Every structure is written in structure tokens, then in C-alpha cells.
Amino acid sequence: MNLSSLLAAPATNPEARVHTVGERYVVIDDLLPAADFEATAEAFAGIRLKPVLSTIDPVYDGFAYRGGEDRQRLTGNADDADADDASAADVNAHDTPRWQRAVKEQITAHLGLLGAPDRADRLSLTLSAWGYPAGSRLSWHNDAGAGRIGAYVYFTHRAWDSDWGGGLAVIDEESRADAADGAALVDSATHPALILPRPNRLVVFRAHTMHAVQRVDATAGDRLRRTWTGFITEDTP
């Protein structure tokens, strides 16, 4: 095997598995091999996170911690704009964190679920590090607007207990004008799916899907619910 084919090998763990598929979301477990996930978790721990208030309900959601935001094309790698030839692109693929390449691979593999089966070359994604401490949550919302076609959440904490809360709740239907908040959702015919924050788990879901982050329980202590999270957007022509 030559260097080029080695660097082009899939970043996704060969033993990754689809845990759940809904009409508008997919859950993928064991996204990275154990050693690569450990490296990802270690790198995340070194990111400087700053407290930010919720943009959904700053009064009752509390604050979370956020590390800056990057934006990349879905096809290719972080530095492809500087790649003059295939050899340079191979080096860029090697330098791009494996979790980023694996997330892009899985988003690309599930573009049909996002309603964009043939538009990979027209899509971008944002990448932000988030940490939710005990007492924080994120209220129901649907990520609509700003050219978004979907979003992803990749859990990077090393351990999590279901008693600590922080689950991702998803209503697996297109959001309706008459069910745009938590109060209206009580009367929804669709029960929410609760996706637990399992380490090394990736969730990809379509925009206009109501979802929320459960409040992180006090029993989590000083542990953060850690994720790489971002939006999948359609580039403006």
C-alpha cells in the first residue's frame, strides 16, 4: 500500500455501528477506534472554553462553555484551499484531526436523510467545542434558517452516566408552526426520542427537527458534557 492510499483510507472506525435510524436522525456508535478517541478526548481537554449564555433561553437554560467556531467544506479537508496538487491534499488529509474526517464521512454517507443526496460539493459544516456543566440545559429549538440543512453532535467526554442527564431529545418529525416550543410539544402526537450522551457517539439530524439538551444533573459534579457540535449548511452560490 502506498502513502497516498494509506492517507485516503476512511477515518471512521471499521467497527463503528449504526445504533438507531429515524426519519430525520441517525445515531452512530464507536465512531473512532479507541486510541483515536482517547487522543480526541485529550485534545478536547486542552481547548480553552469560555462561558456563554444560551441563545434559546438565557434565563433558564443557564450557561455553557464554548470554544471558537471553525467552518469547513464538507468535501475535502480543512486546508484544501491551499492544496496545489493531489500530493498536498494527501498531506492535508493526514493533518486533519481524525474525528473531523470521520464526522464528514458519516454526514456524507447520510445526506439522503438530510434531504441533500447529491449536494455534497455544495455543503459546509461548522465545528464548535461545547461543554455543559451541571445545572445547564438547552431548550427546545429546531435549528432552522441560515441555510442550515442539518446538524451534528459528537460526544467526546471519556465517561458518562445516564443519571447525570444531558441527553439529546429529538422529535422525529418536521417541526410545525404550532409546536415551536416546549409547551406546544406536550400535545405532539410524536414522543421524543432520548439519545444518551455515550462517549464516542455521533448524532446527525435534519434541520427543522425539534430537539433539546436535557439539564445536566448535579450528580455530574464537575464533569462537563463535552461535544463537538456544528451545523451543516448549503453554500451560497
- Per the structure block, which three cell numbers stand in for 188? 405532539
- Report the pLDDT averaged over residues 212-235: 97
pLDDT of amino acid 182: 78
Give one DSSP letter per residue of the chain, joined into a string: --HHHHHTS--S-TT-EEEEE-SSEEEEE--S-HHHHHHHHHHHHTS--EEEE-SS-TTTS-EEEEEEEEEEESSS-TTGGG--SHHHHHHHHHHS-HHHHHHHHHHHHTTTTTT-TT-GGGEEEEEEEEEEPTT--EEEE---STTEEEEEEEE--S---GGGB--EEEEEEE--GGG-SHHHHTT-SSPPEEE---TT-EEEEESSEEEEEPPBPGGGTT--EEEEEEEEEEPP-
* pLDDT single digits (tens) 197-216: 999 999 999 999 999 999 99
pLDDT of residue 87: 39
pLDDT digits (tens, 9 = 90+) for 21-51: 999 999 999 999 999 999 999 999 999 999 9
When the pLDDT of each residue in the chain is averaged and rounded to a whole number, the result is 89
Closest CA to 130 of 31, 62, 50: 50
Q: What is the pLDDT of residue 4?
A: 42
Give pLDDT tens digits for 64-83. 999 978 999 998 654 444 44
Distance between CA atoms of residues 105 and 33, nearest Å: 15
Q: What percent of the chain has pLDDT over 90?
A: 75
Which whole number is the average pLDDT over 150-154?
Answer: 98
For the entire predicted model, the pTM comes to: 0.90
Quick one: pLDDT band at residue 237, thresholds 50, 70, 90?
A: low
